[in-house]
Every structure is written in C-alpha cells, then in structure tokens.
Amino acid sequence: MTNIELRHLRYFIAVADELHFGRAAERLHISQPPLSQQIQALEAAIGAKLLNRNNRNVSLTEAGEAFLKEARQIISRVNDASLQASKIHQGIAGNLRLGLTSSAPFLRRVQRTIQRFHLQYPEVNIRIEEMNSTQQIEPLLEGRIDLGIMRNRQLPEVLHHQLLLSESLVAVVHEDNPLVNLPEGELTFHHLADQPFVFFSKDSGTSMYDDIRALLSSHGITPFITQEVGEPLTIIGLVSAGLGVSILPAAYLRIQVDGVRYLRFGKQQGTTQVWMVNHRHRELSAPATAFMKLMMQDKNP
C-alpha cells in the first residue's frame, strides 16, 4: 500500500464518477490506456477489486464503494490542508501573538490597527497578552510573542524597536485639589513638588517608574511618594480616593473616574515613547508582518 499516491485516488474517483474509462481519461487530460493501467496498479496495491468492467459497462464493487468514500475524504483533507497552508503563508490565516502594555489598548492608533487587521484578516487568531514593558522582553526573546507594544526602555541588542508615537504626560489629581484652578497652560512639574504622590512601585517592572523619576529629577524634584502600587488603574483609583497626585501617559485621559481630573502641563512638557518591538534575528510570521505593516502605515496619533 506504500505505492498508493494521491494521483491514484484522483484517477479512481474520476472513473467512479463517470463509470466510463474514456470520459474519465478525457476529464483527467490523459489517454485511456495509462488510466486503465493506473487503476489496475491501485487494485493490486490494495489487494481488492474496485471496479467491475466489461466492454459495455463499468460499475463499483462493494469494496470500490467503500474505498470511494474514504478516497473522497482523503482528497478533501489534502485540499483543505493545502488551502490552510497557503493562507498562513499569505498571512490571511494563522496566529498573531501580541504583547501590550496596559495603556496600549487606549491608544487610538493601536485600536485602529487591531480593528483594521481583524477586518482584513478575519481568519487570523489574535492572541493578546497584557504585560508591562519589562515583562515583554523574555517572551520576545523566546519567541512566545511575535510583537511587543511597549514604552521606551533599554532593550537587549537582539530586540529591534520602531517608534510608534511620542505621548504627552498628564497630571492626575483629585477634583478638589487646588491645582485644578490653575489657568490652562500654567501647570508645571514644580506644582507637584510638595504634593503626596501615588506612584508605581520600583518592583512593578514598568518603565514609567524610571522615566517619570528621571523627568522629575531633571527638574530638581524628588517626589514625596506616599503610595506605591503596580498598576495604572490602581493609581487612578487611589487618586480618586484623595490619597495624592500622579503622572501618567495621556492615553489614560480616556479613563473617566469620579473625582479624578487630568491636567495637561504647560511649557514644561514631558513625553513618553511607545515602541513596537520584535526579535532582530527571528523571521516574523506572515500575520505579524501584515500587522506591523498596517501599524507603521498609520501616521495618525
């Protein structure tokens, strides 16, 4: 049976459909004698007579009926497998594994790209894992995620980053804080110098800890940190409870919580970068390549 090839199955199916060797040969674009020889070779390989034939008629034997059903299924599965492989190669099927920081889903550019990708490639399974910037590094190195969308931070040499956008920082304060009464454009980092800070813990792994501490330090400010937590939404919640102020990327303007106001800085502007990161030496899958292309084509914030 090791000599049975897919062409034997296709030849047999054609004869079974036509019940005529001449018409089957014409359908297959081959001459009749080689077709008859291939069917005989198939029967010999199986060890069973599949067709009754004489000068006038061709009919299926009981073994032929059973074999025909299985042969059709085999050909169908091969065709399905070929189609799926082709789709994956073209990037219109398969899997896309993304690492996103907690703020990335609130960025309009990221939202648009995910939506467009889903509409253009509905057969691609998108698996999104929420991880801070530090947590994305190991999965990128090991190939457990294809692409990472993270904040700027020091990366291993084998990881390549592309700038998606530079995002403004905003002050997060309670609505009763006197800072909300400042005229627009006058808020500076020095206004926060004496305020109790709700901030990321050093062990949270987010790059925002180092970025904002360095930014404040460049203005000669050492923040008075009274609460340290791991998640931005927790920071916003504690500001809502009146436990202090904070600084976060402007993406969080879209999260409205009772008692919280977001204030934009004036001339003293701080920004944080958002990067798309991939492994330099690992070939991207077709879906990942298509996603990256869509993301980099979108130049809007």
pLDDT bin (cut points 50, 70, 90) of residue 197 is very high
On whether both 179 and 249 belong to a single domain, the answer is yes
| Closest C-alpha among 179, 185, 169, 212 to residue 267 | 185
Is pLDDT above 90 for 155? yes
pLDDT per residue as tens digits for the range 12-47 = 999 999 998 889 899 999 999 999 999 998 998 888
**For residue 161, which amino acid is it?**
H
Under DSSP, is residue 275 helix (H, G, I), strand (E, B) or coil? strand
* Residue 148 structural domain: 96-157+277-295
Count of domains in the chain? 3
pLDDT in tens, 74-93: 998 888 888 778 777 776 76
DSSP state letters, 192-208:
GTTSEEEEE-GGG--HH
**Same domain membership, residue 289 and residue 203:** no
Predicted confidence band of residue 113 (pLDDT cuts 50, 70, 90):
very high
Q: Which residues pair with 271 in a beta bridge?
A: 168
pLDDT given at position 2? 59
Paired residues of 273 in beta bridges: 166
Indicate whether 182 and 225 sit together in one domain: yes
Same domain, 169 and 205: yes
- 3-class SS of residue 284: coil
135/180 same-domain check: no
Instruction: Name 116's Cβ contacts closer than 8 Å, sequence gap at least 6.
Output: 294
Residue 138 and residue 267 in one domain = no
Asked if 181 and 225 sit in the same domain, the reply is yes
Domain co-membership, 44 together with 137: no
Mean model confidence pLDDT for the chain: 90
How far is residue 284's CA from residue 86's CA, in Å, rounded to a whole number? 16
Q: Residue 43 domain-assigned?
A: yes
Distances (CA, A) of 65 to 69, 71, 77, 152, 157: 7, 10, 19, 65, 62
The pLDDT of residue 164 is 95
